[in-house]
């Protein structure tokens, strides 16, 4: 099974990109308060990680993928 790309959001504002073959749950990844994804590309996940916080132009995965491609993040 293909491992999809997710962004994990931790309590200390840490944002970490990881891969998972199944949809992440709290039991599988207790270190994260929330997960965003799945992303199609690592570039989209990196854009969301680096520029997504409090960015009104980057509200969802599709926005991150589009903006990551546009700005080549």
Q: Summarize pLDDT for 27-73 with one digit per residue, the tens.
A: 999 999 999 999 999 999 999 999 999 999 999 999 999 999 998 75
Q: How far apart are CA 29 and CA 7, in angstroms?
A: 11
Single pTM value for the model: 0.89
pLDDT of residue 18: 96
Q: How far apart are CA 28 and CA 59, in angstroms?
A: 25
Q: Is the pLDDT of residue 1 over 80?
A: no
Helix (H) or strand (E) holding 4: strand 4-9
Burial status of residue 61 (CB atoms within 10 A of its CB: 0-12, 13-18, 19 or more): buried
Domain map (residue ranges) of the chain: 4-71
């Amino acid at each position: 099974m293909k491992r999809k790309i997710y962004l994990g959001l931790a309590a200390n504002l840490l944002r970490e990109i990881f891969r998972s073959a199944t949809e992440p749950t709290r039991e599988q990844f207790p270190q994260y308060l929330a997960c965003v994804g799945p992303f199609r590309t690592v570039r989209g996940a990196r854009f969301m990680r680096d520029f997504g916080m409090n960015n009104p132009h980057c509200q969802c995965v599709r926005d991150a993928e589009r903006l990551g491609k546009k700005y080549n993040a």
